[in-house]
Structure 1
Amino acid sequence: MQLQATNSPFSQEQADLLNKLLPGLTDAQKNWLSGYLIASASAQAIAPAAVAPQASPAAAPASKEVTILYGSQSGNGHGISKKAAKMLEEKGFQVTLSSMSDFKTNQLKKVEQLLVVVSTHGEGEPPDNAISFHEFLHSKRAPRLEGVKFSVLSLGDSSYEQYCQTGKEFDARLEALGATRLHDRVDCDVDFEEPTKAWLEGVLTRLTEAQGGGGAATAPVAAPTAEAPSAPSAPAAESVYSRTNPFEAEVLANINLNGRGSNKETRHLELSLEGSGLVYKAGDALGIYPHNDPELVDLLLAETKWDPQTEVVVGKQGDKRPLRDALIENLEITVLTKALVEKLAPLATNPDLAQLTAAGNEAAVKAYVKGRDLLDFVRDYGPLQGSAQDAVSHLRKIPVRLYSIASSQTANPDEVHLTIGAVRYDAFGRARKGVCSTQTAERLEVGDKISVYVQPNNHFKLPEDPGTPIIMVGPGTGIAPFRSFMQEREETGATGPSWLFFGDQHFTTDFLYQTEWQRWIKDGVLTRMDVAFSRDTDEKVYVQHRMRQHAKELYEWLDKGAVFYVCGDMKNMAKDVHQTLAEIISAEGGKSLEEAEAYLAEMKKSHRYQRDVY
Structure 2
Amino acid sequence: MKLQVINSPFNEEQIKLLNELLPKLTGEQRIWLNGYLSAPLTTINTIAEEITSTVTPSTKTVTILYGSQTGNSQGLAEKYASILKSNDVDVTVSSLGKFKPNNLKKLTNLLLIVSTHGEGEPPDQAIQFYEFLHSKRAPKLENLHYSVLALGDSSYEFFCKTGKDFDEQFAKLGATQIVPRTECDVDYDDAAAQWFSAVQKELLQQADVAATVEASNQTVQGDSTYSRKNPFYAEVLESINLNGRGSNKETRHIELAIEGANFYFEPGDSIGILPENDEKLVDALLTALQFDPQTEVDVFDEKLSIREALQKRLEITVLSKPLLQKISTYTVHKEFTKLVEDANAWKDYARGRDLLDVVEDFAPFSWNAQQFVELLRKIPARLYSIASSQKANNEEVHLTIGKVSYETNGRQRLGVCSGSITERIQIGDTLPVYVHKNPNFRLPEQQDTPIIMIGAGTGVAPYRAFLEEREELGIEGKAWLIFGDQHFVTDFLYQTDWQRWLASGTLTQMDVAFSRDTDKKIYVQHKIEENAVAFYEWLEQGAVIYVCGDEKTMAADVDATIHRLIEQQGQKTPEEAKAFVNELKQQNRYQRDVY
- The two structures share one fold, judged by TM-score above 0.5: yes
Q: What letter is aligned with 1:443?
A: R
Deviates more, 1:363-372 or 1:513-522: 363-372
The 8 Å contact of residues 148 and 180 in structure 1, kept in 2 or not, is answered as yes
Relative distance call for 1:112 and 1:475 in structure 2 (3 A) is same
Match of 1:608 among 564, 576, 589: 589
Give the drift of 1:537.
1.1
1:269 aligns with 2:251: no
Match of 1:374 among 355, 366, 371: 355
Alignment of structure 1 residues 323-402 onto 2, 5 Å:
323-348=306-331, 350=333, 352-357=335-340, 361-402=342-383
1:139 maps to which residue? 135
Alignment of structure 1 residues 114-513 onto 2, 5 Å:
114-209=110-205, 214-216=206-208, 219-222=211-214, 225-228=217-220, 238-315=223-300, 318-348=301-331, 350=333, 352-357=335-340, 361-513=342-494
2:45 maps to which residue? 43
Q: What letter is aligned with 2:463?
A: F
In structure 2, distance between residues paired with 1:512 and 1:394: 40
Q: What letter is aligned with 1:527?
A: T
Give the drift of 1:361.
4.3
Match of 2:83 among 78, 81, 87: 87
Relative distance call for 1:482 and 1:354 in structure 2 (3 A) is closer
In structure 2, distance between residues paired with 1:595 and 1:247: 48
Q: What letter is aligned with 2:46?
A: Q
Q: What letter is aligned with 1:205?
A: K
Q: What letter is aligned with 2:207?
A: G
In structure 1, distance between residues paired with 2:312 and 2:210: 36
The 8 Å contact of residues 546 and 590 in structure 2, kept in 1 or not, is answered as yes
2:539 maps to which residue? 558
Deviates more, 1:195-204 or 1:73-82: 73-82
1:578 maps to which residue? 559
Determine helix, strand or coil for the equivalent of 2:379: coil
Gaps of 5+ in 1: 1-36, 53-60, 230-236
Relative distance call for 1:404 and 1:51 in structure 2 (3 A) is closer
1:101 maps to which residue? 97
Aligned residues: 555
What is the TM-score of this pair, normalised by structure 1? 0.87
Give the drift of 1:352.
4.1
Determine helix, strand or coil for the equivalent of 1:594: helix
The 8 Å contact of residues 194 and 223 in structure 1, kept in 2 or not, is answered as no
The 8 Å contact of residues 476 and 505 in structure 2, kept in 1 or not, is answered as no
Deviations 1:250-299 (A, max 9, x none): 10111110000001111111111111111110000111101111121121
Determine helix, strand or coil for the equivalent of 2:227: coil
The 8 Å contact of residues 145 and 179 in structure 1, kept in 2 or not, is answered as yes
Give the drift of 1:74.
1.5
What is the TM-score of this pair, normalised by structure 2? 0.90
The 8 Å contact of residues 59 and 90 in structure 2, kept in 1 or not, is answered as no
Match of 1:522 among 483, 495, 503: 503
Identity of aligned residues (%): 53
The 8 Å contact of residues 200 and 209 in structure 2, kept in 1 or not, is answered as no
In structure 2, distance between residues paired with 1:88 and 1:254: 45
In structure 1, distance between residues paired with 2:181 and 2:210: 20
Deviations 1:20-71 (A, max 9, x none): xxxxxxxxxxxxxxxxx9653341243345699xxxxxxxx98611000011
Give the drift of 1:608.
0.7
Determine helix, strand or coil for the equivalent of 1:436: helix
Q: What letter is aligned with 2:225?
A: V
Relative distance call for 1:257 and 1:246 in structure 2 (3 A) is same
2:514 maps to which residue? 533
Give the drift of 1:87.
1.1
Determine helix, strand or coil for the equivalent of 2:425: coil
Determine helix, strand or coil for the equivalent of 2:214: coil
The 8 Å contact of residues 65 and 95 in structure 2, kept in 1 or not, is answered as yes
Deviations 1:116-155 (A, max 9, x none): 0001111101111211211111122221111100000000
The 8 Å contact of residues 425 and 433 in structure 1, kept in 2 or not, is answered as yes
Q: What letter is aligned with 1:46?
A: A
Kindly report the root-mean-square deviation, in angstroms, between the aligned alpha carbons of the 2 structures: 2.0
Q: What letter is aligned with 1:338?
A: K
Deviates more, 1:582-591 or 1:170-179: 582-591
Relative distance call for 1:377 and 1:539 in structure 2 (3 A) is same
Relative distance call for 1:133 and 1:217 in structure 2 (3 A) is closer
1:25 maps to which residue? none
In structure 2, distance between residues paired with 1:290 and 1:219: 30
In structure 2, distance between residues paired with 1:328 and 1:45: 66
In structure 1, distance between residues paired with 2:494 and 2:347: 40
Relative distance call for 1:44 and 1:164 in structure 2 (3 A) is same
Relative distance call for 1:343 and 1:560 in structure 2 (3 A) is same
In structure 1, distance between residues paired with 2:215 and 2:346: 35
In structure 2, distance between residues paired with 1:45 and 1:426: 80
The 8 Å contact of residues 77 and 155 in structure 1, kept in 2 or not, is answered as yes
Relative distance call for 1:468 and 1:378 in structure 2 (3 A) is same
